[in-house]
A and B are shown apart, each in its own frame.
Chain A
Amino acid sequence: MITFKDIQVHFGSFHAVKNLNLEIREGEFFTFLGPSGCGKTTILRALAGFVTPTGGSILLNGRDITNVPIEKRGIGMVFQNYALFPTMTVYENIAFGMKVKKAKKSEIDAAVRDIARKVDLKEEHLTKKVSELSGGQQQRVAIARALVLKPAILALDEPLSNLDAKLRIQLRNELKALQKKFGITTIYVTHDQEEALTLSDRIAVFNNGVLEQVGTPYEIYNHSGTEFVCNFIGDINRLDPALIESSPLRAFIRPGKVAYIRNEKVNLAPIEGEDVVRLRARIVDREYYGLYSKYVLELEGGSRLKTIEKENGRVALEVGAETDVYIRPADIMQFDRTERGH
């Protein structure tokens, strides 16, 4: 549905987006993920038309929209701080776009009330000033305001940042539900990997203006395409070259590669399988979280691994205890040595 072809964006001498090629499918919840300054917002703004790429083209359903004015792209945008118009009521905020388009009053009224109902805004909220709403209600207004114009795409720029953790999770769920309800192609920009993993159908990970990997959350997490991606997402152990050399792991890691294993893939409970590698370690630290515990293990030769185990009674080791550690070679991710990613 959306195709980015060889997109380049420069700001003066700063090369913000480097040769981006990407395809986004109809109805998808697609996330741009990356640290701040990675270019993800720039790409979103290029798509919405606020930034003109210095090279390449953006296609929407096969049509080149690179130079189409913002308002003709049919992209509804929700801003980081929602950018609700403070001097207007909720109703006026939602109706704004339709008024601009000179829609009939009755039409506007019907559309505004309809969309408000769909995003669970109560009738009495409509006459309020936006400053009188809670954070959740503001998000719903921002989304309603974008959706009322029936855009082909909903673009959200870090809408959950600057909110407290509890509200963030609540709004995340609301957002997901809304997207499912409307089935609209949604592009979501965030630096929060948890948000990206929970919300997205697919994720694109960016670093320094370069697209590192595109994939489902599962792929991104379990089969990270680059060293950067595997480091950026989730908690991970880098396998010490000394450890590899002195252990059976050596057989599974190609020479000259860097090897990583996710924390939770380092098992303290025995696992079955042919290739399982067994190592010997001592518990040096344990943090108890109730649902699970986090351990720090020291292996022979002094290198350390972090792991996490569910508190289901199967594993309960105290600091100082000796234990076996089980690793599936298939869980190890290997990359070429690169400069970046550290």
Chain B
Amino acid sequence: MNAQTWKDRLGSLHYGQMLLYAIIAWFVITFLILPNLNVYYEIFFRDGSFSLEPVEKLISSKRAMNSLKNSFILAVSLMITVNVVGIMLVLLTEYFDIKGARVLKLGYFTTLLYHGVVVSASYKFAYGENGIVTKLLAGLFPDMNREWFHGYWAVLFVMTFACTSNHLLFLGNAIRKIDYQTVEAARGMGAGPFTILWRVVLPVLKPTIFALTILTFLTGLGAMSAPLILGGTEFQTIAPMILTFSKSSTSKDLAALLALVLGLATIILLTIMIRIEKRGNYMSVSKVKSTLVKQKIHNRFANAAVHFIGYALFLIYVTPVALIVLFSFTDARSISTSTITWNSFTLENYARLFTSMSALRPYLVSVIYAAAASLLVVALALFASRIIHKYKNSRLAMALEYALMIPWMLPSTLIAIGLVLTFNVPRLIVGNTVLTGTHWIVILGYIIIHIPFTMRMVKASFFSLDHNLEDAARNMGARPFYTFRKVLLPIVLPSTLAVLALNFIKILDDYDLTVFLYHPVYQTLGVVIKNSTDVEAGIIARAMTLVYTVVLMIMSGITMYLVYGRGAKDR
């Protein structure tokens, strides 16, 4: 019977499809398995034999174990807090009838504009010892400790609010697809607003929430800049240690091992989620969907409370961004001390941007790389998701799914090193050419590290598709690829475009991976920014960081606007 099914499957394949499958298999083997295996081999078997020494080293280190523990604490805490805040934001902007929801939404969306070190730095502008909020509070309570904003709670606070972008994008998409009749029906049966939310609305959002939970967990595990900047001595996490070790010639094994631990934790969580995903079928069965109507909250007290929460969150979100923009117009000293006087304002930073960025090239290079890589990774994820969706129960599909998670098992530094190491000699598998030092390797690097995230999100939207659509198209004579293009793709497109945009933004100023891969003649924005804003580069550089951030914010904003701003209305 197995042979029979195989024969059937092969019989229904077309040559184009076969080619596609071959390409995906080749990509996975060549760029996901080979280089990363190579790195693991180099690291663990370099001296000819595998030893448990690195494990012992790590276990005997109190600091490493503490950091690891903190990473997990953070990851688990974030799973809760980010979901709470993220769901709240989505409900505030999409579900409840809130006055000024459009403005609020813009505020909440600001997290899409900046990431990394700048986020924590900008929160410091607000809550640090010279921060505006701290000063306000100190005015009210003169006895307070002005160095209050550090440690676990500070890290959790910043990361909770900084990591809600995905919720806004993907959960927002999902909630808009809810069939309003189910809400009305529940109300007809006497359910209160809370019951409706809990029993009717949230269950439909489950697949998306699952996917987002995994991502949040991963973000928490890999937290780097927030703990570094705000964690203080009491709350350091493992990611900075991994980064340091991955760059040292003798400690790469520790980096790989630690990354492996984090990766395995993610994979375990993922496996559980995949199980649940397979079991649960949250597809809408209704034939006549009606669009969600925003819910008025009739209880006056509750309504006031929800409005208050909405605007309070808005302030939390907007303050850091506003401060970044504000401080980008001040001199270096104000920036480093977080204080502003009337004399602080200057246009010098921007003037310097235009002279120091003498060439437009880094922008162009980055945009082209980012566009190419984000398009390709999304295309890859689409095809892979389709395969996994189609052959849900096949072993090969499972293997593919897990293979595409490999990049989560290694820090990006090591992925980059693996690529360079593997492809700096002609390899038959890539047409007997050397890839190191070419544009290809840069694009490949970007593609590889963004695969897992892209896969999660694209797959989630694929799994919410109705199988019958595909059958219907086939019934009318459409070939699989035609069906994919004309029927399925348009449905998953909103989420897919969001992923595309997010990847694009992240690639624009990537440094950790780029530094190993970029072609010297084609420096990217990330490299140029890092070079001119490195802390060791002095005071001017620090001012420039903010200017570049503002520039990137504008670029990100434009990207998001193109994807969302106009599309949202007719969608």
Contacts and interface: CB of A to CB of B under 8 A. Distances in A.
A and B touch in the complex (CB under 8 A): yes
Interface in A99-152: 100-101, 131, 133-135, 138, 145-146, 149
**6 closest cross-chain pairs (CB), A and B:** A97-B476, A71-B477, A83-B468, A87-B490, A83-B472, A79-B468
Given A82-B287, A85-B469, A138-B288, A71 B491 contact: no
A312 interface: no
A7 to B, nearest CB: 15
A77 interface: yes
Contacts of A70: 474-475, 477
Interface stretch (A46-54, A196-204, A330-338): A46-54
Contacts of B49: none
Contacts, number: 87
Contacts of A145: 472, 476
Contacts of B11: 67
21 contacts: A10-B1, A50-B471, A50-B474, A52-B8, A54-B1, A70-B477, A71-B475, A71-B477, A77-B475, A85-B469, A85-B472, A85-B490, A88-B490, A97-B476, A100-B477, A131-B291, A135-B287, A138-B287, A145-B472, A162-B285, A162-B287
Interface string A32-58: 000000000000000010101010000
A96 B476 contact: yes
Interface of A: 10, 12, 48, 50, 52, 54, 67, 69-71, 75-77, 79-83, 85-88, 96-97, 100-101, 131, 133-135, 138, 145-146, 149, 162-163
A158 B482 CA distance: 27
Given A85-B490, A100-B473, A135-B287, 7 more contacts: A52-B4, A81-B286, A85-B486, A96-B478, A96-B486, A131-B289, A131-B291
Contacts of A97: 476-478
Contact of A100 (B471, B482, B493): B482
Interface residues of B, number: 30
A235 to B, nearest CB: 29
B248 interface: no
Contacts of A133: 288
Nearest to A149: B476
A75 B478 contact: no
Contacts of A96: 473, 476, 478, 486
A146 B285 CA distance: 21
Contact of A149 (B287, B291, B477): B477
A70 B290 CA distance: 32
B12 interface: yes
Interface of B: 1, 4, 8, 11-12, 285-291, 466, 468-469, 471-479, 482, 486-487, 490-491, 493
A100 B484 CA distance: 13
B472 A79 contact: yes
Contacts of B466: 81, 83
Contacts of A131: 289-291
A83 B1 CA distance: 31
Contacts of B493: 87
A69 B471 contact: no
A48 B473 CA distance: 12
Given A131-B289, A162-B285, A163-B287, A81 B468 contact: yes
Contacts of A163: 287
B472 A100 contact: no
Nearest to B489: A87
A67 B8 CA distance: 9
Nearest to A79: B468
Given A79-B472, A145-B476, A162 B482 contact: no
Nearest to A98: B476
B482 A48 contact: no
Nearest to B469: A83
Contacts of A85: 469, 472-473, 486-487, 490-491
